């Protein structure tokens, strides 16, 4: 049976080929960013994927949105796998290693074997946190400017020394793949992340949450903003029925 893709034409059909991706860029931390560089599908992609079960396609915007809400409310999440995002992110190594634990997605990262690290590519925190005994996952910020300045000074000294040794090793002819091992986890890296909306929502559940490390929270919040702008119906339904965090 043929599916009628023309039924229920929407008034404002998004044209994915003409999206201005330049507006989907957020600066994060002191030197990081996340930007949307490509996208396949939108809210309507999930609708079409769900209705194919009945040999049907799009209907009216009202009925299509209602279906999105129904799918999310009842945990029918497979149709959301047909919305796919590709992000370009720049983040400290320790953030990237947490990010890469989200396995349902594809990653390609800049290679420190092929590229040389620039001396300004280290993350300097803007706040200081301490662990709380009742929750091993959680840290709380302290309003202590003197301690923060001391922490930053100590970290910058380590960064300067490690980078100095790194450059000396490079100057001695040591391969980049070996010289890099003296660099700290604060070193910035860049990567591409391609992920479907279902997996992106899982990422937001875990990282846009106060139990996640503060730095990755900032990336998750920015990604949530992009998700909201590009898939408003899916985002609205997710926040109402699927979101388990406490920051959005």
- The percent of residues above 70 in pLDDT, for the chain, comes to 93
Q: Decide if 215 contacts 29 (C-beta within 8 A).
A: yes
pTM over 0.75: yes
Confidence at residue 9, expressed as pLDDT on a 0 to 100 scale: 44
Q: Which residue has the higher pLDDT, 36 or 1?
A: 36
207 counts as catalytic: yes
Catalytic one of 10, 103, 207, 244: 207
DSSP state of 75: T
How far apart are the C-alpha atoms of 63 and 51, rounded to whole Å? 12
> Worst-scoring range by mean pLDDT, 98-102, 138-142, 176-180, 204-208?
138-142
Model pLDDT for residues 4-39, shown as the tens digit of each residue: 455 444 433 444 556 788 889 999 999 999 999 999
pLDDT of residue 143: 94
Q: What is the mean pLDDT of residues 123-130?
A: 96
Please list, residue by residue across 170-191, b when 16 or more beta carbons sit within 10 angstroms of its beta carbon and e when fewer do.
beeeeebeebbeebbebbbbbb
User: Is the torsion defined by CA of 29, 188, 191, 17 positive or negative?
Assistant: positive
Q: Encode pLDDT of 42-81 as tens digits.
A: 999 999 999 999 999 999 999 999 999 999 999 999 999 9
């Amino acid at each position: 049976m043929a599916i009628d893709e023309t039924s229920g034409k929407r008034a404002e059909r998004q044209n994915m080929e003409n999206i201005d991706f330049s507006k989907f860029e957020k600066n994060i931390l002191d030197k990081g960013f996340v930007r949307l560089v490509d996208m396949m599908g939108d809210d309507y992609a999930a609708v079409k994927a769900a209705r194919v079960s009945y040999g049907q396609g799009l209907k009216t915007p009202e009925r299509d949105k209602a279906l999105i809400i129904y799918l999310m409310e009842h945990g029918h999440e497979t149709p959301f796998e047909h919305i796919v995002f590709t992000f370009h992110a720049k983040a400290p190594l320790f953030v990237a290693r947490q990010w890469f634990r989200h396995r349902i997605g594809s990653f390609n990262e800049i290679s420190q074997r092929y590229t040389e690290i620039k001396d300004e590519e280290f993350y300097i925190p803007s706040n200081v946190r301490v662990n709380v005994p009742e929750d091993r996952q959680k840290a709380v910020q302290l309003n202590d400017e003197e301690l923060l300045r001391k922490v930053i000074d100590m970290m910058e000294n380590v960064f300067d020394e490690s980078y100095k040794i790194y450059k000396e090793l490079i100057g001695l002819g040591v391969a980049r793949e070996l010289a890099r091992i003296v660099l700290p986890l604060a070193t910035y890296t860049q990567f591409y992340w391609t992920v479907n909306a279902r997996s992106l929502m899982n990422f937001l559940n875990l990282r846009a949450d106060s139990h996640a490390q503060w730095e990755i929270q900032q990336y998750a919040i920015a990604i949530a903003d992009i998700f909201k702008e590009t898939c408003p119906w899916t985002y609205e339904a997710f926040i109402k029925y699927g979101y388990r965090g406490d920051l959005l």
